[in-house]
Structures are given as C-alpha cells and as structure tokens.
C-alpha cells in the first residue's frame, strides 16, 4: 500500500470504528509546552499532581516510545458527544443537581480506549509492525488540546476548549502515536490579528499576537493529485480555508460564575467548579461554595454560552454507550437520600446507580460533598432530612459540607431542626475541620469548640 492509500484507508477505518474526526501531524514539540510549564510553575495543577509527571514526554510525545522504533505520526481523534441542551427550567432548578454533559453517558475512557487499540491493531496488521502504538485518552501525558489545534480538529477558544467550526466544543479528544510515517494533514495557519481588520481583532488584546484564531490551509495536499479523481475518504480533508476564531467575543470569560479565567486561554482550576467537583478530594473553599449553584459534577457554563455551540449541525449518531441517559443529567438532589436507593449514602447503592458513569471518579464521598453544597445553595427546608443524613456520614468532608449547608438553612429560615442537628453533631464530632464548620454555622467562637471525643480522622488523612 502506498503511503496515501494506507493513510486514506486508516482514516476510513477510524470512521468505521466511530471516530468523528481523525487528523494526522508529525510528532514534535507541543506548541504551547512552554505555557504549560509556566502554568504548572504557578501551582495551577493543585491536587492534579499527575500533570507534573513526565514533563519531558508531555512536551514532546516522541519520547513516549519506550521500546521499538520512535513514534513519527501523532493521530488526533475526536469523538462527538453533543446530545442536546437541558431545558432552561431544569438547568436553573435549584432542587436538581446538574451533571456536565460529558457524563450523561458511560465513561468515555472505557469506550474510546479499546477503539484506539483496535485502530492500532488494524495498522499493525497492514504494516507488519510487531511493537504497539500508544493510544491515549485524557489520562496520558499528552497536551491533547494543543495537538488538536495543531492537527486542525478545531481551534482553541478563549475558554481553553478545542472548538470544531461545525460541531462546537462537545468533542472528546484522543491520541494515537505510531511509528509509521503517515501522510500528514495540511497545516493549520495561525491567524494573527495584525493580518485582519478591526472586526477580527480581539478585544483588549495587543495586535500581532496569536490568539487562537485558526485557519485550515487552502489546497489540500491530498487533493486533487493523490485522489486521482476518486471521492475523498474523509470529509475533513476536503475542507478548504475554514477561518475560525473567537473574534471579539468574551462570553465564556464573562459567564464563568467563579471567575476562573485569569485571561483568555488561561484557566485557574482552583477556582473552577469542574476541578472541585471532579478532581479534588479536599473541602471546597467556603467562599466558592455559593458560586457553584446546582452544578454537582463538572461544569459546562463556559461552553453553554459559546456561540460556536449554538449553531450546531445536526448531530451524528453517538458512539454506543455515549448516548445520554435521562437519569444521569439532572437528578433531583434528594433522590439519592431516599431509603429505597440511598445512593449518596451507601457505597453499594452508589456503585449500582452510577455503574459505568464518569461520576465514579469523584467517589461517593466526593459526590455527597458536592450534593451538600448544592443543597446549601438551594437552601430549602425540604433539604433538611438529606443534610441530617449527610451530617452522620462516615466521610469527614461530607459532614463538613453538610454542616455548612445546615448553616444555610439556619441563616435563611432560622430552621430550628438545623440548629438542633448542628448542636448534636458538635457533641459527638472529633474532626477539627467539621467542628470549625459547625461553629461557624452556629455563629460560635471557634476557639471554644476545641477538644474532641472522636478520633480526628479527617485531619489525619489530610
């Protein structure tokens, strides 16, 4: 097989397996590796310490080949997960917990990883290669958005997301590294604001910079010479001159409820709802809790407001398993406290209710913490029984957040049940952080709450 036929058939196979996008670049240094190092240097990774490991490999994925021939081609694959938007009345219902739409189906890692292996197997069968390629989705040391931009899957928006000009940003990314020299896709042209008129110059940014505006090069190398009159195999290859940019828009930066963007393309995870509700095991800083509203797992606000997500083409069928499951989108917050299926309280019920869901990453205790924040933000007396159960949970962070939410009931409704529950929690609480939270909720001097009857479990873990 010639290089071209191999690449074209490979892309066809990628499509057959269910990948929506597949573009190829030569392996090299990631374009924004330097920015990433500075970002780490600022401590932005927080508890995501894995981001600082294998730094050299993250800068240059060629180093990921441990044995065998070096990797020459980096294949960026994209999987569409746009389903539909929640009705505004559901999205803003404080008695429901909103789950980010990437988690409406089954865990994408488990769906995409085997497909990457299959795709690599297909290639190995054609080239006779005996070593394995490297298929990564999310968890490997690859700057996936950087490569997606570079390869032409989409441009990088000011909200940091890879935005496909026709499909928006509801796209998962994955990488396959292989030693074969595949035919690279036409390079993306970085559009500089100086090349454009006032209309295209980004608001508030100095002229002449590369602000993520993105253009696919005119004249695809694969057409028409290599195609020799045949129909192209992959629709992306035929796109000529697509200009895509944020322009002067700043909607995402303005809409973020926690003000997590330091500026365009620069997010501070430690202010981001997604980080706290998915990645962090620590208590959510008190000042942030009220800003979370009813988002209990991940956050889509900076994408929901993006104009590129508001004129989407009709969606293609999703990969099997990614289809939205109704009960995973916006469950009533109190549902998981129901004695028939108390999934926020009992590990076995949690495991059953969220089987195959990405929610497992946050673990039951993390989700109970998140739900307590949302219940506190709802602040309705109906939340009391759920919060009372959470205040008796074995997880100290969950008890801490339950105490905070009970404090919200007390503050807003002078709820005597909340006050009594906080008093009895205090009587038996050994964890210093929980005691402090109860003290604040009751308006007591924290110093007078010293001393413990129970072991200080949480402080020991922390």
Between 213 and 422, CB nearer to ligand B12: 213
CA-atom Rg of the chain in angstroms = 25
Count the site residues for ligand SF4 by CB under 6 A. Answer: 22
Buried b (16+ CB within 10 A) or exposed e, 446-459: eeebeeeeeebebe
- Alpha carbon separation from 343 to 3, 326, 373 (Å, rounded): 53, 17, 17
CA distance 423 to 426: 5
Give the 3-state secondary structure of residue 201.
coil
Site stretch for ligand SF4 (CB under 6 A), options 71-79, 175-183, 300-308, 419-427: 300-308
Residue corresponding to tokens 């999205």:
91
If binding is defined by CB under 6 A, does position 202 make contact with ligand SF4? no
In sequence order, the β-bridge partners of residue 163 are 155
CA distance 279 to 282: 9
If binding is defined by CB under 6 A, does position 151 make contact with ligand B12? no
If binding is defined by CB under 6 A, does position 107 make contact with ligand B12? no
Subset of 271-330 contacting ligand B12 (CB under 6 A): 272, 274-275, 278-279, 298-300, 302
CB of 299 to ligand SF4, least distance (A): 3
Handedness of CA 127, 130, 131, 137 (dihedral sign): positive
Between 202 and 396, CB nearer to ligand B12: 202
Rule CB under 6 A: choose which of 96, 158, 164, 167 binds ligand SF4.
Answer: 158
Report whether 110 contacts 4 (CB < 8 A). Answer: no
Between 159 and 370, CB nearer to ligand SF4: 159
Choose the contact partner of 256 out of ligand B12, ligand SF4, none; CB within 5 to 8 A by kind: ligand SF4
Pairing of the two strands 188-192 and 171-178: unpaired
Angle at 336 between CA 335 and CA 342, to 5 degrees: 125
Dihedrals phi, psi of 453, to nearest 5 degrees: -100, -35
Between 252 and 284, CB nearer to ligand SF4: 252
Dihedrals phi, psi of 206, to nearest 5 degrees: -65, 145
CA distance 390 to 242: 52
CB of 171 to ligand B12, least distance (A): 5
Choose the contact partner of 249 out of ligand B12, ligand SF4, none; CB within 5 to 8 A by kind: ligand SF4
Choose the contact partner of 250 out of ligand SF4, ligand B12, none; CB within 5 to 8 A by kind: ligand SF4
Between 28 and 165, CB nearer to ligand SF4: 165
Report whether 292 contacts 154 (CB < 8 A). Answer: no
Choose the contact partner of 329 out of ligand B12, ligand SF4, none; CB within 5 to 8 A by kind: none
If binding is defined by CB under 6 A, does position 156 make contact with ligand SF4? no
DSSP 8-class letter at 96: B
If binding is defined by CB under 6 A, does position 200 make contact with ligand B12? no
If binding is defined by CB under 6 A, does position 82 make contact with ligand B12? no
Between 49 and 339, CB nearer to ligand B12: 49
If binding is defined by CB under 6 A, does position 148 make contact with ligand SF4? no
Handedness of CA 124, 129, 131, 137 (dihedral sign): negative
Rule CB under 6 A: choose which of 19, 21, 71, 211 binds ligand B12.
Answer: 211
CA distance 111 to 113: 6
Binding positions for ligand B12, rule: CB under 6 A: 30, 32, 35-36, 39, 48, 51, 100, 102, 137-138, 142-146, 149, 156, 159-162, 169, 171-173, 210-212, 265, 267, 269, 272, 274-275, 278-279, 298-300, 302
The residue ranges that bind ligand SF4 (CB under 6 A) are: 157-159, 246, 249-252, 256, 258, 260, 267, 272-274, 299, 301-302, 305-308
């Amino acid at each position: 097989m010639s290089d071209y036929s191999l690449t074209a058939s490979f892309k066809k196979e990628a499509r057959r397996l269910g990948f929506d996008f597949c573009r190829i670049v030569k392996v090299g240094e990631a374009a924004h590796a330097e920015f990433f190092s500075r970002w780490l240097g600022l401590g932005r990774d927080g508890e995501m310490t894995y981001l600082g490991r294998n730094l050299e490999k993250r800068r240059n994925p060629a180093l990921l080949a441990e044995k065998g021939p070096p990797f020459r081609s980096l294949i960026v694959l994209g999987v569409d997960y746009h389903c539909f938007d929640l009705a505004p009345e559901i999205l803003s219902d404080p008695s429901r917990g909103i789950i980010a739409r990437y988690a409406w189906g089954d865990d994408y890692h488990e769906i995409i990883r085997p497909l990457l292996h299959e795709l690599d197997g297909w290639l190995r069968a054609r080239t006779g290669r005996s070593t394995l390629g490297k298929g990564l989705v999310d968890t490997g040391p690859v700057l996936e958005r950087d490569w997606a931009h570079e390869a032409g899957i989409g441009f990088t928006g000011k909200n940091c997301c890879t935005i496909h000009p026709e499909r928006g940003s509801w796209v998962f990314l994955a990488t396959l590294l292989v030693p074969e020299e595949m035919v690279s896709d036409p390079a993306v042209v970085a559009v500089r604001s100086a090349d454009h008129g006032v209309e295209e110059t980004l608001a508030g940014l100095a002229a002449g910079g590369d602000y993520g505006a993105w253009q696919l090069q005119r004249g695809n190398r694969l057409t028409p010479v290599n195609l020799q009159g045949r129909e192209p195999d992959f629709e992306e290859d035929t796109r000529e001159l697509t200009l895509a940019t944020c322009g002067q828009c700043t909607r995402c930066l303005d809409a973020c409820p926690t003000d997590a963007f330091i500026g365009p393309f620069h997010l501070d995870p430690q202010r981001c709802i997604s980080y706290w509700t998915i990645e962090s095991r620590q208590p959510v800083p008190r000042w942030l809790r009220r800003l979370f509203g009813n988002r209990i797992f991940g956050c889509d606000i900076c994408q929901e407001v993006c104009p590129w997500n508001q004129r989407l083409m009709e969606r293609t069928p999703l990969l099997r398993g990614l289809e939205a499951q109704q009960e995973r989108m916006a469950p009533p917050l109190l549902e998981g406290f129901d004695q028939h299926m108390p999934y926020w309280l009992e590990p076995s019920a949690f495991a059953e209710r969220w089987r195959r869901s990405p929610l497992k990453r946050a673990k039951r205790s993390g989700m109970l913490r998140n739900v307590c924040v949302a219940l506190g933000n709802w602040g309705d007396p109906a939340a009391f029984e759920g919060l009372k159960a959470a205040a008796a949970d074995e997880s100290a962070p969950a008890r801490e957040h339950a105490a905070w939410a009970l404090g919200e009931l007390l503050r807003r409704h002078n709820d005597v049940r909340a006050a009594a529950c906080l008093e009895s929690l205090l009587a038996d609480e050994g964890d210093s952080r929980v005691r402090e939270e109860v003290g604040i909720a009751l308006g007591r001097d924290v110093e007078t709450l010293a001393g413990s009857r129970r072991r200080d479990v949480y402080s020991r873990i922390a």
